């Protein structure tokens, strides 16, 4: 792959084009471009770079939108444990579990996301509050009323 194709502006353009394909329902074209962008960004910038993580998250969202749960889950799990983008990916994965009725799996991730958000941002931060809300909804769906009530009063 040439140096021009590895230039940050070229990668951004390819990423934008892939997202346009995604919006238009051209899944194969979008996936193909996103895979190239991910490969180059991971090699040039590193796997943990925000641009690499964002591209992986976008591919996971595309997979989720198509009902490709296993592929989405694999990508979501590639992220680290504390990076804010990683927490977003974990929250997305928990949401995916909820949509599939996998409440216990969702609960496990949501507890981790909530605790990490509180540690990173503090209890009153919107990310912390959103993660607490997601956990309350999961507890409600599990019929764990005491846990739901306890979390909603925090």
> Can you give the pLDDT of all 154 residues of the chain as single tens digits?
556 777 878 888 999 999 899 889 898 999 999 999 989 988 888 877 778 877 887 888 788 778 887 887 777 666 555 566 677 878 888 888 888 888 888 898 898 888 888 877 788 999 889 999 999 989 988 888 888 777 655 5
- Given this structure, which CATH class describes domain 79-154? mainly alpha
Residues of the chain within CATH 1.25.40.10 domain(s) are: 1-77
**Which pLDDT score, from 0 to 100, does residue 117 have?**
81
Fold of 1-77: 1.25.40
Q: Are the CB atoms for 48 and 91 separated by under 8 Å? A: no
pLDDT at 152: 54
Helix residue spans in 49-144 (DSSP H): 50-65, 69-77, 84-99, 103-121, 126-142
């Amino acid at each position: 792959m040439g140096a021009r194709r590895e230039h940050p502006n070229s990668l951004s353009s390819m990423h934008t084009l892939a997202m346009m394909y995604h919006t238009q329902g051209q899944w194969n074209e979008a996936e193909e471009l996103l895979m190239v962008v991910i490969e180059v960004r991971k090699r040039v910038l590193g796997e943990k770079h925000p641009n690499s993580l964002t591209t992986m998250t976008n591919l996971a969202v595309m997979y989720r939108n198509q009902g490709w749960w296993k592929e989405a889950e694999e990508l979501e799990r590639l992220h680290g444990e504390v990076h804010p983008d990683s927490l977003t990916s974990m929250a997305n994965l928990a949401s995916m579990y909820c949509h599939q009725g996998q409440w216990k799996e969702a609960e496990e991730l949501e507890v981790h996301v909530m605790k990490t958000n509180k540690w990173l941002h503090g209890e009153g931060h919107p990310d912390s509050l959103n993660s607490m809300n997601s956990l309350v909804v999961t507890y409600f769906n599990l019929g764990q009323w005491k846990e739901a009530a306890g979390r909603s009063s925090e």
